[in-house]
Structure 1
Amino acid sequence: MNYLILALTLIIPLLIIAGIVYLYKKLSRRTFILLALTLAGGPYLAYKLYERQFMLEAVPDALGVTSIVYQNEESWGFGPGGNESGIRLYPLPDATAQLIKKRGMDFFKDMPANQDQQSRDWRGSYENWAATPIASPESWAVNNESGRMDIDDYICTYGYCLTIKPSVAVEANAIINSPGSYYAYGRIGLIVVSPEKKLVLYLYNG
């Protein structure tokens, strides 16, 4: 068995090299380069698609969100001892924004559960929706300087902070401190839905 493994270890790379040489001779230079780029970029593209879907799953499907307009996330370490924090902004479709303006809190009370929730684990599941301004919980106090809730204080709760784009921070802080939006805490993170700004904010720390 050891000889077989050794033989395969030597033969497989040679076969791959032979295949590359064969294609290089048979295909035009341009076609060969395009093929090589496609094969090399395939795994990266697949990962980016998975990453995008993972991020979208933090938002309940009933909101109709399909894209991300801003994100800033960092990880420190991996596994149970690791820490991470982040912020994402998703555009809220106009139809959903108008429906929320019309129905208010009833929209969130009647919001159907995600059909694929089991495969998503905790992502996209929220309870106890409330209207903004956000009330100060024990772990997130009012900022001493501004006298208002500040997203930086939430993200930095455990000492793992981000440098958020100033315009994003200003808009996010205005949303969480003003009436007209709705928020809820999930197992991980906080989601805020602003029908006026047509935005969904997702913040997390840990």
Structure 2
Amino acid sequence: MLQKTRGIAINYIKYRDTSIISRIYTEDFGLQSYIVNGVRSAKSKGKMALYQPLTLLDLVIYHKDGAQLNRISEIKCFYPYQHIPFEIRKTTIGIFLGEVLSKIVRENEHDHAGQFDFVAKSLQEFDTLTANFESFHLQFLVKFTQYLGFDLVNTEDLYQQVYHLTKSDMLSKEVLEFIEFLYNAPYAHEKKTTLEIKREALKNVISFYDHHLGTLGSLKSVEVLRQILH
């Protein structure tokens, strides 16, 4: 059955000589996998660009509930990025966000809470920022909790849960204040703090996510963030 929806490309794997299997986070059906034939052939006219991670998409798809693979009838980008693919710091943050989303969003999950819209609008705003975006990935994670059922509005919850997991006092007052600032401030509002506090904040927010979702595990892109941003 043909359905219209918006999507965010997450990743893809090569399939046979010229095809791919693309994983796309859709607004109406959650995370879905699509087989795309011939897209890597010389005749595809650059269509592989549409399947690069975090590309924002308008889709017409053939959707069947319960199917492991579906197909795409029509695809186009509804917001071409101007900066994320071309600036190394933004690209690095984008890689991290793509890895996180691949482990958070679920299959066959209808968007009841505005979760997709939050992600799409956040990515568009990130693309336009010209300064003070080095903590965007952390701020995104902190704000995203509002849509996942474990809102970080109260950093005391973060402290108690991390303490429960580690049995050690890992979260200083400065780290908690930084996380609370990120939750309440608009994107691009930077709070001056140390590199150590930023790293501890990210480490503990990831632990907070993993406590609730159990899906993050070890994120390969964290080390890349350390090398490029700091």
Same fold, TM exceeding 0.5? no
- Of structures 1 and 2, the one with the larger relative CO (CA 8 A, separation 6+) is 1
Q: Could you state the TM-score of these two structures normalised by the residue count of structure 1?
A: 0.28
